[in-house]
Structure 1
Amino acid sequence: MSISDARPSRFDGWLPAEYAERGDFTVLVVLVAIQGASIELLRSTFMNVIGNETRWRDVRDLFESAGVKWDGAAFFPVSAFFAGPVENEIARSELRDLEARLREDRRVLNEGHFFDRKGRRMKVEEIVH
Protein backbone atom coordinates (compact mmCIF):
# COMPACT_ATOMS: atom_id res chain seq x y z
CA MET A 1 0.00 0.00 0.00
CA SER A 2 1.35 3.42 -0.81
CA ILE A 3 0.04 6.92 -0.38
CA SER A 4 0.85 8.99 -3.43
CA ASP A 5 0.74 12.38 -1.78
CA ALA A 6 1.08 13.58 1.79
CA ARG A 7 -1.21 16.57 1.22
CA PRO A 8 -4.74 16.00 2.53
CA SER A 9 -8.03 16.27 0.65
CA ARG A 10 -7.03 15.01 -2.79
CA PHE A 11 -10.67 13.93 -2.93
CA ASP A 12 -11.61 17.63 -2.96
CA GLY A 13 -9.74 17.99 -6.25
CA TRP A 14 -10.97 14.72 -7.74
CA LEU A 15 -14.72 15.15 -7.31
CA PRO A 16 -15.05 18.57 -9.01
CA ALA A 17 -12.82 17.38 -11.89
CA GLU A 18 -14.90 14.21 -12.31
CA TYR A 19 -18.08 16.27 -12.21
CA ALA A 20 -16.73 18.72 -14.79
CA GLU A 21 -16.10 15.78 -17.13
CA ARG A 22 -19.32 13.82 -16.51
CA GLY A 23 -21.96 16.10 -15.06
CA ASP A 24 -24.28 14.33 -12.61
CA PHE A 25 -23.26 10.67 -12.19
CA THR A 26 -23.57 7.56 -10.05
CA VAL A 27 -20.57 6.31 -8.10
CA LEU A 28 -20.03 2.93 -6.46
CA VAL A 29 -18.29 3.14 -3.06
CA VAL A 30 -16.36 0.49 -1.15
CA LEU A 31 -15.10 0.94 2.43
CA VAL A 32 -12.12 -1.15 3.51
CA ALA A 33 -10.08 -1.89 6.61
CA ILE A 34 -6.31 -2.13 6.22
CA GLN A 35 -4.21 -4.29 8.55
CA GLY A 36 -0.59 -4.38 7.42
CA ALA A 37 -0.64 -5.98 3.97
CA SER A 38 -4.24 -7.20 4.31
CA ILE A 39 -7.29 -5.37 2.97
CA GLU A 40 -10.73 -6.37 4.26
CA LEU A 41 -13.85 -5.37 2.35
CA LEU A 42 -16.28 -3.86 4.85
CA ARG A 43 -19.23 -2.12 3.25
CA SER A 44 -20.30 -1.05 -0.20
CA THR A 45 -22.98 1.21 -1.58
CA PHE A 46 -23.72 3.56 -4.42
CA MET A 47 -24.72 7.19 -4.51
CA ASN A 48 -25.67 9.78 -7.04
CA VAL A 49 -23.43 12.82 -7.35
CA ILE A 50 -25.55 15.84 -8.19
CA GLY A 51 -23.35 18.92 -8.30
CA ASN A 52 -19.76 19.28 -7.16
CA GLU A 53 -20.16 20.91 -3.76
CA THR A 54 -19.51 17.77 -1.68
CA ARG A 55 -16.18 17.77 0.14
CA TRP A 56 -14.18 15.04 1.84
CA ARG A 57 -15.14 16.06 5.36
CA ASP A 58 -18.84 15.61 4.43
CA VAL A 59 -18.24 12.19 2.87
CA ARG A 60 -16.05 11.09 5.80
CA ASP A 61 -18.76 12.13 8.25
CA LEU A 62 -21.32 10.13 6.26
CA PHE A 63 -19.07 7.05 6.32
CA GLU A 64 -18.71 7.32 10.10
CA SER A 65 -22.37 6.26 10.31
CA ALA A 66 -21.56 2.95 8.54
CA GLY A 67 -20.92 1.33 11.92
CA VAL A 68 -17.46 -0.02 11.05
CA LYS A 69 -13.89 1.16 11.57
CA TRP A 70 -12.68 1.89 8.06
CA ASP A 71 -9.29 2.97 6.75
CA GLY A 72 -9.97 3.60 3.08
CA ALA A 73 -12.73 4.34 0.61
CA ALA A 74 -12.70 3.62 -3.11
CA PHE A 75 -14.98 5.39 -5.56
CA PHE A 76 -15.90 3.91 -8.93
CA PRO A 77 -17.93 6.14 -11.24
CA VAL A 78 -20.42 4.03 -13.17
CA SER A 79 -19.38 3.53 -16.78
CA ALA A 80 -19.44 6.52 -19.10
CA PHE A 81 -21.71 4.35 -21.25
CA PHE A 82 -24.50 5.60 -18.99
CA ALA A 83 -25.19 9.33 -19.12
CA GLY A 84 -26.06 10.90 -15.80
CA PRO A 85 -27.14 9.01 -12.68
CA VAL A 86 -28.29 5.46 -13.38
CA GLU A 87 -31.35 3.58 -12.21
CA ASN A 88 -30.97 1.85 -8.83
CA GLU A 89 -31.21 -1.60 -10.44
CA ILE A 90 -28.26 -0.83 -12.72
CA ALA A 91 -26.22 0.57 -9.83
CA ARG A 92 -26.95 -2.53 -7.71
CA SER A 93 -25.93 -4.82 -10.56
CA GLU A 94 -22.71 -2.87 -11.19
CA LEU A 95 -21.97 -2.96 -7.45
CA ARG A 96 -22.44 -6.74 -7.24
CA ASP A 97 -20.07 -7.18 -10.20
CA LEU A 98 -17.49 -4.89 -8.57
CA GLU A 99 -17.75 -6.73 -5.24
CA ALA A 100 -17.14 -10.07 -6.98
CA ARG A 101 -14.06 -8.70 -8.74
CA LEU A 102 -12.73 -7.22 -5.48
CA ARG A 103 -13.17 -10.53 -3.65
CA GLU A 104 -10.92 -12.10 -6.29
CA ASP A 105 -8.29 -9.34 -6.44
CA ARG A 106 -7.93 -6.35 -4.13
CA ARG A 107 -5.86 -4.56 -6.81
CA VAL A 108 -9.19 -3.78 -8.49
CA LEU A 109 -9.32 -0.92 -5.96
CA ASN A 110 -6.75 0.81 -8.18
CA GLU A 111 -9.32 0.98 -11.00
CA GLY A 112 -11.29 3.41 -8.88
CA HIS A 113 -10.30 6.48 -6.92
CA PHE A 114 -8.92 5.16 -3.63
CA PHE A 115 -8.54 7.49 -0.61
CA ASP A 116 -7.46 7.13 3.01
CA ARG A 117 -9.34 8.67 5.95
CA LYS A 118 -7.63 12.02 5.34
CA GLY A 119 -8.70 12.16 1.71
CA ARG A 120 -5.23 11.29 0.36
CA ARG A 121 -4.82 9.03 -2.67
CA MET A 122 -3.81 5.43 -2.11
CA LYS A 123 -2.78 2.56 -4.34
CA VAL A 124 -2.71 -1.19 -3.75
CA GLU A 125 0.67 -2.64 -4.63
CA GLU A 126 1.48 -6.29 -5.14
CA ILE A 127 3.75 -7.84 -2.53
CA VAL A 128 6.60 -9.75 -4.09
CA HIS A 129 8.23 -12.41 -1.92
Structure 2
Amino acid sequence: MTDFDDWLQATFAETDGFTVLIVLIGTAGGRVDLLKSAHLHVIGDDIRWPDMAAYLDGSGVAWDAVALFRAGREGLVADDVARTRLDQLVRAMNGDRTLIRDSEFFNRDGLRLRLDDAEPSVPILN
Protein backbone atom coordinates (compact mmCIF):
# COMPACT_ATOMS: atom_id res chain seq x y z
CA MET A 1 0.00 0.00 0.00
CA THR A 2 1.14 3.52 -0.78
CA ASP A 3 0.04 6.93 0.49
CA PHE A 4 -1.94 7.25 -2.74
CA ASP A 5 -3.80 4.01 -2.06
CA ASP A 6 -4.68 5.16 1.47
CA TRP A 7 -5.88 8.55 0.19
CA LEU A 8 -7.95 7.03 -2.63
CA GLN A 9 -9.69 4.52 -0.37
CA ALA A 10 -10.45 7.12 2.32
CA THR A 11 -11.73 9.68 -0.18
CA PHE A 12 -13.90 7.15 -1.97
CA ALA A 13 -15.35 5.96 1.35
CA GLU A 14 -16.21 9.56 2.18
CA THR A 15 -17.79 10.40 -1.18
CA ASP A 16 -18.90 7.13 -2.83
CA GLY A 17 -17.40 8.54 -6.04
CA PHE A 18 -15.63 11.75 -6.98
CA THR A 19 -13.97 13.56 -9.85
CA VAL A 20 -10.27 14.31 -9.57
CA LEU A 21 -8.31 16.95 -11.45
CA ILE A 22 -4.84 15.68 -12.34
CA VAL A 23 -1.78 17.85 -12.97
CA LEU A 24 1.48 16.13 -13.87
CA ILE A 25 4.53 17.92 -12.51
CA GLY A 26 8.17 17.97 -13.61
CA THR A 27 10.82 18.90 -11.07
CA ALA A 28 14.04 18.83 -13.09
CA GLY A 29 16.66 21.43 -12.29
CA GLY A 30 14.91 22.58 -9.12
CA ARG A 31 11.94 23.88 -11.13
CA VAL A 32 8.28 23.01 -10.73
CA ASP A 33 6.83 22.66 -14.22
CA LEU A 34 3.22 21.87 -15.12
CA LEU A 35 3.41 19.21 -17.83
CA LYS A 36 -0.06 17.88 -18.64
CA SER A 37 -3.47 17.79 -17.05
CA ALA A 38 -6.66 15.75 -17.18
CA HIS A 39 -9.66 14.80 -15.10
CA LEU A 40 -10.81 11.38 -14.00
CA HIS A 41 -14.06 10.11 -12.49
CA VAL A 42 -13.33 7.77 -9.56
CA ILE A 43 -16.20 5.30 -9.24
CA GLY A 44 -14.45 2.64 -7.19
CA ASP A 45 -11.52 2.24 -4.83
CA ASP A 46 -9.89 -0.77 -6.44
CA ILE A 47 -7.22 1.03 -8.49
CA ARG A 48 -3.79 0.85 -6.89
CA TRP A 49 -0.74 3.02 -7.41
CA PRO A 50 1.01 0.82 -10.03
CA ASP A 51 -2.10 1.01 -12.24
CA MET A 52 -2.48 4.75 -11.69
CA ALA A 53 1.21 5.34 -12.45
CA ALA A 54 0.83 3.34 -15.68
CA TYR A 55 -2.19 5.48 -16.60
CA LEU A 56 -0.17 8.65 -15.94
CA ASP A 57 2.76 7.27 -17.96
CA GLY A 58 0.34 7.01 -20.88
CA SER A 59 0.47 10.81 -21.07
CA GLY A 60 3.74 10.51 -22.96
CA VAL A 61 5.63 12.95 -20.72
CA ALA A 62 8.38 12.23 -18.21
CA TRP A 63 6.73 13.28 -14.94
CA ASP A 64 8.19 13.36 -11.44
CA ALA A 65 5.09 14.04 -9.36
CA VAL A 66 1.34 14.43 -9.62
CA ALA A 67 -0.98 16.91 -7.95
CA LEU A 68 -4.53 15.64 -7.46
CA PHE A 69 -7.40 17.97 -6.64
CA ARG A 70 -11.01 17.01 -6.02
CA ALA A 71 -13.10 18.76 -8.66
CA GLY A 72 -15.72 19.62 -6.07
CA ARG A 73 -17.04 18.80 -2.64
CA GLU A 74 -20.15 17.38 -4.32
CA GLY A 75 -18.26 14.26 -5.43
CA LEU A 76 -18.74 13.41 -9.09
CA VAL A 77 -19.13 16.34 -11.47
CA ALA A 78 -20.11 16.39 -15.14
CA ASP A 79 -17.36 16.32 -17.77
CA ASP A 80 -17.98 19.91 -18.87
CA VAL A 81 -17.80 21.12 -15.27
CA ALA A 82 -14.59 19.14 -14.69
CA ARG A 83 -13.01 20.56 -17.87
CA THR A 84 -13.89 24.12 -16.85
CA ARG A 85 -12.57 23.65 -13.32
CA LEU A 86 -9.40 22.02 -14.62
CA ASP A 87 -8.80 24.89 -17.04
CA GLN A 88 -9.28 27.42 -14.23
CA LEU A 89 -6.99 25.44 -11.94
CA VAL A 90 -4.16 25.17 -14.49
CA ARG A 91 -4.38 28.88 -15.31
CA ALA A 92 -4.20 29.69 -11.59
CA MET A 93 -1.29 27.28 -11.07
CA ASN A 94 0.62 28.87 -13.96
CA GLY A 95 0.66 32.04 -11.89
CA ASP A 96 1.05 30.48 -8.45
CA ARG A 97 2.78 27.11 -8.01
CA THR A 98 2.06 27.20 -4.26
CA LEU A 99 -1.48 26.06 -5.10
CA ILE A 100 0.09 22.59 -5.19
CA ARG A 101 -0.12 22.77 -1.40
CA ASP A 102 -3.91 22.46 -1.73
CA SER A 103 -3.55 19.16 -3.60
CA GLU A 104 -2.85 15.59 -2.76
CA PHE A 105 0.75 15.63 -3.98
CA PHE A 106 2.51 12.33 -4.76
CA ASN A 107 5.85 11.27 -6.22
CA ARG A 108 6.39 8.49 -8.78
CA ASP A 109 6.31 5.92 -5.98
CA GLY A 110 2.87 7.03 -4.77
CA LEU A 111 4.31 8.62 -1.63
CA ARG A 112 3.18 12.01 -0.35
CA LEU A 113 5.22 15.07 -1.15
CA ARG A 114 5.14 18.51 0.39
CA LEU A 115 5.93 21.76 -1.37
CA ASP A 116 7.95 24.09 0.85
CA ASP A 117 9.04 27.63 0.14
CA ALA A 118 12.43 27.80 -1.50
CA GLU A 119 15.13 29.65 0.33
CA PRO A 120 16.83 32.34 -1.72
CA SER A 121 20.24 31.27 -2.93
CA VAL A 122 23.24 33.17 -1.69
CA PRO A 123 25.09 34.60 -4.69
CA ILE A 124 28.50 33.12 -5.28
CA LEU A 125 31.09 35.73 -6.17
CA ASN A 126 34.20 34.72 -8.04
Per-residue deviation at 1:128? 2.5
Q: Which has the higher contact order (CA 8 A, sep 6+)?
A: 1
Hey, what's the Cα distance between the residues in 1 that align with 2:87 and 2:93?
Answer: 10
1:102 equivalent in structure 2: 93
- Secondary structure of the structure 1 residue equivalent to 2:14: helix
**1:24 aligned to 2:17?**
yes
Cα pair 1:32 1:70 within 8 Å, conserved: yes
The structure in which a higher percent of residues are strand is 1
Task: For 1:47-86, list aligned pairs within 5 A.
Answer: 47-80=40-73, 82=74, 84-86=75-77
TM-score (norm 2): 0.90
Structure 2, unaligned stretches of length 5 or more? 121-126
AA paired with 1:45? Answer: A
Identity rate, percent = 35
- Secondary structure of the structure 2 residue equivalent to 1:123: coil
- Secondary structure of the structure 1 residue equivalent to 2:32: strand
Hey, what's the Cα distance between the residues in 2 that align with 1:66 and 1:51?
Answer: 22
1:65-88 CA-partner distances (Å, limit 9, x unpaired):
1111000011101121x2x42111
Cα pair 1:106 1:124 within 8 Å, conserved: no
Number of residue-to-residue matches in the alignment: 120
Q: What is the RMSD of the two structures over their aligned residues, measured on CA atoms?
A: 1.2
Hey, what's the Cα distance between the residues in 1 that align with 2:54 and 2:118?
Answer: 32
Hey, what's the Cα distance between the residues in 1 that align with 2:64 and 2:43?
Answer: 26
2:34 equivalent in structure 1: 41
Hey, what's the Cα distance between the residues in 2 that align with 1:122 and 1:25?
Answer: 22
AA paired with 2:42? Answer: V
Hey, what's the Cα distance between the residues in 2 that align with 1:36 and 1:116?
Answer: 16
- Secondary structure of the structure 2 residue equivalent to 1:128: coil
Structure 1, unaligned stretches of length 5 or more? 1-7
Cα pair 1:46 1:91 within 8 Å, conserved: yes
Hey, what's the Cα distance between the residues in 2 that align with 1:36 and 1:21?
Answer: 38
1:77-102 CA-partner distances (Å, limit 9, x unpaired):
1121x2x4211110011001110111
TM-score (norm 1): 0.88
